[in-house]
A and B are shown apart, each in its own frame.
Chain A
Amino acid sequence: DVKVTQSSRYLVKRTGEKVFLECVQDMDHENMFWYRQDPGLGLRLIYFSYDVKMKEKGDIPEGYSVSREKKERFSLILESASTNQTSMYLCASSSDGLNQPQHFGDGTRLSIL
């Protein structure tokens, strides 16, 4: 089975801090994704990557950046955390091809104080 592992289930940080969220997948998937999930808004795509060192903006990239130095690892970076970035963050991966199923990690619930 595909396993997508997010480094933290819960994280508390302060406004202005630089925050790193890590995600690792073990199935050699080409595509990796970062979403945030908020009540009433569903999942919104922040960034995705279809290959090492490649990245594409999603629907809400402002305030975030990403890094993909190795195929199995995709990092989400909050450059200067703000309270409106308090959310559940979900990482996913999928194999290459048309609309392949995505495999999700269990999420990181991030609180910015």
Chain B
Amino acid sequence: SQQGEEDPQALSIQEGENATMNCSYKTSINNLQWYRQNSGRGLVHLILIRSNEREKHSGRLRVTLDTSKKSSSLLITASRAADTASYFCATGGYQKVTFGIGTKLQVIP
């Protein structure tokens, strides 16, 4: 399967710092998505970047995609305690996507 792998698996930062999470994948993709999951809840879609895009912004989120390296990064700027969650990248085919194992982010107030 085209499972993405997030790195690091866990990250702990102080409030106000930036958080960077990475995702690597093995096969070519049409697009890549990032999701957030708060503890005990379902996943929430954050951002989708197409294979012909290199960078995309949404509020405090910045996503980059390097198809030559088969990798993507998610940057959260000026982190807040409410950003504490697990973050997943997802890649895949026409109708279904495959999720990675996720990065657990803790933002310390």
Contacts and interface: CB of A to CB of B under 8 A. Distances in A.
A47 B70 CA distance: 27
B4 to A, nearest CB: 9
Interface in B86-108: 88, 90, 92-102
Contacts of A94: 95
Contact of B41 (A31, A42, A96, A106): A106
Contact of B43 (A45, A99, A102): A102
A113 B95 CA distance: 35
A53 B94 CA distance: 19
A101 B42 contact: no
Which range holds the interface residue count of chain B?
A: 20 to 34
Taking residues whose C-beta sits less than 8 angstroms from the other chain, chain A's interface range is: 20 to 34
B1 interface: yes
A107 B43 CA distance: 9
Nearest to B91: A99
Contact of A105 (B40, B42, B88): B42
Interface of A: 4, 31, 33, 35, 40-43, 45, 48, 50, 56, 58-59, 90, 92, 94, 96, 98-99, 101-107
